[in-house]
Amino acid sequence: MSAEGGRLPDTGSGSATLVAGAAAVLLALGAATLWYSRRRGGARTR
| Segment 1-46, tens digit of pLDDT | 455 556 666 556 678 889 999 999 999 999 999 999 988 887 665 5
Query: How many other CB atoms are found less than 10 A from the CB of residue 23?
Result: 10
Give the model's pLDDT for residue 16: 84
Provide the pLDDT for residue 14.
78
Domain count, the chain: 1
Helix (H, G, I), strand (E, B) or coil at 16: helix
* Residue 26 belongs to some domain of the structure: yes
In a domain, 21, yes or no: yes
- Work out the number of other CB atoms within 10 angstroms of the CB of residue 12: 7
Full-model pTM? 0.52
Q: d(Cα 17, Cα 15) in Å, to the nearest integer?
A: 5
Which residue range forms the structural domain that includes residue 26?
17-41
Q: Is residue 35 part of a domain?
A: yes
